[in-house]
Amino acid sequence: MTNKVLVTGANGFVGRATCTALADLDIPVRRAVRSLPPEASPPVQWREDISRAQETCRVGDIGESTDWSKALDGIGVVVHLAAHVHVMKKSGARALAEFHRVNTAGTEQLARAAVKAGVRRFVYLSSVGVHGRSTNGRPFTEADVPHPHDAYTMSKWEAEQKLRTIANDSALEIVILRPPIVYGPGEPGNFVRLVQLVDSGLPLPLEAASARRSLIYVRNLVNAIITCVQHPGAAGQTFLVSDGEDISTRELVCRIADALGRRTTLIPLPLGCLRVLGRLTGKSKQLNSLLGSLVIDSSRIRRELAWSPPCSMSDGLRATADWYLARPST
Catalytic residue numbers, as ranges: 152
Q: Which of 186, 208, 219 is nearest to 322 (CA)?
A: 186
Separation of alpha carbons 278 and 233, rounded Å = 44
Which amino acid makes up residue 40?
A: A
Q: For residue 134, count other CB atoms closer than 10 A to its CB.
A: 16
Residue type, 57: C
Residues in CB range of 38: below 8 A, 6 or more apart:
none
- Alpha-carbon distance of 251 to 204, in angstroms, equals 13
- Decide: residue 265, CB within 10 A, 0-12 exposed, 13-18 middle, 19+ buried: exposed
Q: What's the start-to-end Cα distance of the chain, in Å?
A: 44
